[in-house]
Structure 1
């Protein structure tokens, strides 16, 4: 892994649980389940039963207006569960989930479609009770059958959900408004929480017929505007170009405490761009209303246009106040292919990256190099393992590299010609041990004589500013690295098929690592 990331500013999480309970009469406590109106995986719930609104919203915020946003890439399907195709951004506006996260707490959610969730002491199952008032856009109630259908299809059609919910073995209707999920893993505090994140889709709509008179098929991509239970609907779109979402005046949950003060725009329109530079020009010219910057050079040099000077565009640097999410950003070799399955080769590639020089020349010294998969959080690695961490590692000592116990991890440090040469010499030394040698000015396999060359596949030209200087560094030790930027559809298809040598990846890591880890590292996933 070539760690070149920056401190992340995103907010999302999954993890361990502290629960606040709805009060029940003592006489009934042993006979009836305890229903939880909210779940927290880190701390006690901030908001009490019956709270009116989240503290961070303005209940008097005016309604109206059109919010214009932009998106890099394209889309060719509105199917919210399927892994095929390029799914449209913004579908969260259309589909409600069982629970809704709180933005001023870590890994905390309160009932949305579900008014409560209960589970036995050993957490061998979880039962969600749907709100009686929850309805689809066509006025029909949201039912347990819809929840079971959504879960079953998500696991059937999406490998991510197969891994994420692998311990959820069954979903069934257990009451007029109750649906129960059964687990094969007891005392897993994360499972009730992450089940609240599933997008719930209408079974009757997907099993019905479309405008063309043909039966709908949830296993296929579709550009028919899908129906949901959320606050917006798909009003219009141009395939691959724009999507316009309109606020539903008949939304069932408009007065719900988790929705008060939110969903204020009459419409939200996304415009799609194949190039981020062109996308930025659209923002500069006033064609979009909001821009999230991810490039240090542009942040430092490009925000001098008239709208910034006269105050129409306001710049803010917003840190993640909770450090709730670590961002692992890196160039990732495909370990299914030789020679990237050799740890020495991967280490050599890391030595060939001069992060300090990149930080000075193109990042304006605004970045820090990632040195942990949980960078910038309290879970980030530091020093040697000790305490409970050491105890756990000792239990799998035969499966862990010995240097874990003896040598704190650190990335190579460059930034000067001398350090850069030393790092390249170290890279050559590692490659020699892995079966490569310099033959003239080319690094070749000592057995086959085949030159060491590979392709770095990118999804956006903006990543080329790092990949191209890196390729030049590799050339100095005889490795040919070709940088290729492909269109979004090709990138998605090639990545899903593992048809690449090296690509760019960003992973979010939560403060309480859970089921997602099996998807990151498990061979089955």
Structure 2
């Protein structure tokens, strides 16, 4: 991709402001953790635009591309080894629930390794509002607090918001049939669409192209949404979040709210694990206790609010520490139901020191698909479970590619039937001309941002973060890097999440001179070399 500057950046005042020789220390070089250009060129190019703009303010930036998922994910979520990271959070129906993209990201309680507050951000006001909205079950009343929470996050600018994307994928109409496509933030990746795909012409399975292999099949250790999506195909969950964002019964036959901290869940009686054993209410209780006792990374911040889970009158009773409006969507609709007869004895059977070391392959689940085999870095084969109540239409074969460009080429050659990986912006218009391809566009509720590590002395300054919001060339990135398949957002709860998004927040204007004025007002100065310096 040819690197282009935005017109505004190209014509901005590049001269060093006329100030006396600064005596404050020089702002250190910023370590910007980013994605590798070979596989994620548009993500890497986004960070180049940001770095170039920030350097016009006298801030030296070092781009640090790391392979994804490892070691990048570890540096991002566990070690917090960055000053700034290009955060790309995928969208899903489950994430229409506003907790994930607001309080979950910025409450100080969620800043421990593995949790979502990767920048260690802390604000008493945001913590207060975040905790308050959790206790409000009435959606209209809760929305008022969610609006206030977004406004407080906007004021603090813990990240530079870039865009929420429009994911463009495609499938081959001559090899694959999809009846009644359902519009969801995940598009073709959604379980509602995957389960409807059918091969044409005698193929044994629908061939799906993706660039991200499964990092972990162990429900205790996985970290990313893509892992959760595929675990959700082979494991049942008590609830599912529907395409419109509303929780629906799935493995659960009933959900009864006893009081604001007590919920009872009844279980369907027609579920079986892939080894033939029935799924019982005891398996449900075991699962949530097991995930809690072993600090399951993805679910920890939600499980911390669970006081106890027990079988009461043939139902699973969840007792919460405090009320939690998002409990159903964030935990019951996402946590996989594990077979107690498998997981309770894995340490004795395998000799492993801890259950987090268990690879969980072969996998015993009860979901709409069964894991047939996993060839790491190459293929994941799933066969449909014909007895499952969702009745998926066909087997699935996930084929991994080294880059989105190679994957796109494979689709045109007929080597795959569906691309789950969003098409690179440069090929979208060309693909529209191919008669065999059906283009699908999904407006994501996920978003892209430059997340700051507040442990960095420079980025801990609110004025700095506010200045950088005016040094984020999001319009140029959207048009020149993302090919227009994105839209700007002033909030981490993006406009496509219509009910919860605060429309009163205004997009920061890209204005380097305004950014300089904010820095100057906060006491920052520039040396003769043009480098930004701390207040004396």
Q: TM-score, normalised by structure 2?
A: 0.57
**Per-residue deviation, residues 160-200 of structure 1 (Å, max 9, x unmatched):** 4221233321001224x4211112225x4543554432211
- What is aligned with 1:509? none
**Per-residue deviation, residues 453-476 of structure 1 (Å, max 9, x unmatched):** xxxxxxxxxxxxxxxxxxxxxxxx
Determine whether 1:184 maps to 2:321. yes
Give yes or no for contact 2:91–2:447 (8 Å, CA) kept in 1.
Answer: no
- What is aligned with 2:93? 11
- What is aligned with 1:152? 289
Equivalent residue of 2:519, what SS? Answer: helix
Q: Return the match for 2:232 from 76, 92, 115.
A: 92
Q: Return the match for 1:270 from 398, 403, 417.
A: 398
- What is aligned with 1:161? 299
**Per-residue deviation, residues 332-357 of structure 1 (Å, max 9, x unmatched):** 12122221111121122222222333
Give yes or no for contact 1:118–1:127 (8 Å, CA) kept in 2.
Answer: yes
Q: Return the match for 1:196 from 308, 317, 332.
A: 332
1:60–1:216 distance in 2 versus 1, CA, 3 Å: same
C-alpha distance in 2, partners of 1:41/1:72?
A: 40
C-alpha distance in 2, partners of 1:219/1:9?
A: 27
- What is aligned with 1:427? 515
- What is aligned with 1:75? 214
- State the 1:240 CA deviation: 2.3
C-alpha distance in 2, partners of 1:354/1:209?
A: 51
- State the 1:299 CA deviation: 4.9
Unaligned runs of 5+ in 2: 1-46, 51-85, 99-136, 141-179, 183-191
- What is aligned with 1:329? 448
- State the 1:363 CA deviation: 4.4
Equivalent residue of 2:383, what SS? Answer: strand
1:125–1:152 distance in 2 versus 1, CA, 3 Å: same
Equivalent residue of 1:90, what SS? Answer: helix
C-alpha distance in 2, partners of 1:108/1:433?
A: 48
1:378–1:412 distance in 2 versus 1, CA, 3 Å: same
Determine whether 1:410 maps to 2:507. yes
1:367–1:77 distance in 2 versus 1, CA, 3 Å: closer
1:341–1:170 distance in 2 versus 1, CA, 3 Å: same
1:62–1:210 distance in 2 versus 1, CA, 3 Å: farther
Give yes or no for contact 1:83–1:157 (8 Å, CA) kept in 2.
Answer: no
1:140–1:300 distance in 2 versus 1, CA, 3 Å: closer
Give yes or no for contact 1:296–1:362 (8 Å, CA) kept in 2.
Answer: no
Equivalent residue of 2:418, what SS? Answer: coil
Determine whether 1:117 maps to 2:214. no
1:441–1:424 distance in 2 versus 1, CA, 3 Å: farther
Determine whether 1:379 maps to 2:500. yes
Q: TM-score, normalised by structure 1?
A: 0.58
Equivalent residue of 1:315, what SS? Answer: strand
1:296–1:170 distance in 2 versus 1, CA, 3 Å: same
Pairing of 1:275-424 with structure 2 (within 5 A):
275-292=403-420, 294=422, 297-303=425-431, 308-309=433-434, 311-318=435-442, 326-365=445-484, 367-376=486-495, 377-383=498-504, 409-413=506-510, 423-424=511-512
C-alpha distance in 2, partners of 1:60/1:328?
A: 27
- What is aligned with 2:187? none
Determine whether 1:66 maps to 2:205. yes
C-alpha distance in 1, partners of 2:231/2:455?
A: 34
Pairing of 1:254-269 with structure 2 (within 5 A):
254=388, 256=389, 259=390, 262-265=391-394, 267-269=395-397
C-alpha distance in 2, partners of 1:179/1:220?
A: 28
- State the 1:441 CA deviation: 4.0
Pairing of 1:46-61 with structure 2 (within 5 A):
none
Equivalent residue of 2:408, what SS? Answer: helix
- State the 1:289 CA deviation: 1.6
C-alpha distance in 2, partners of 1:41/1:14?
A: 16
Give yes or no for contact 2:210–2:420 (8 Å, CA) kept in 1.
Answer: no
- What is aligned with 2:174? none
Unaligned runs of 5+ in 1: 17-39, 44-53, 320-324, 384-407, 414-422, 449-525
- State the 1:213 CA deviation: 5.6
Give yes or no for contact 1:101–1:108 (8 Å, CA) kept in 2.
Answer: yes
Pairing of 1:18-29 with structure 2 (within 5 A):
none
- What is aligned with 2:382? 245
- State the 1:374 CA deviation: 2.4
C-alpha distance in 2, partners of 1:108/1:357?
A: 37
- What is aligned with 2:309? 171
Q: Which one has a larger percent helix, Structure 1 or Structure 2?
A: 2
C-alpha distance in 2, partners of 1:294/1:273?
A: 13
- What is aligned with 2:362? 225
**Per-residue deviation, residues 311-347 of structure 1 (Å, max 9, x unmatched):** 221224355xxxxx74332121212222111112112
- What is aligned with 2:530? 442
1:148–1:218 distance in 2 versus 1, CA, 3 Å: farther
1:329–1:363 distance in 2 versus 1, CA, 3 Å: closer
C-alpha distance in 2, partners of 1:131/1:332?
A: 42
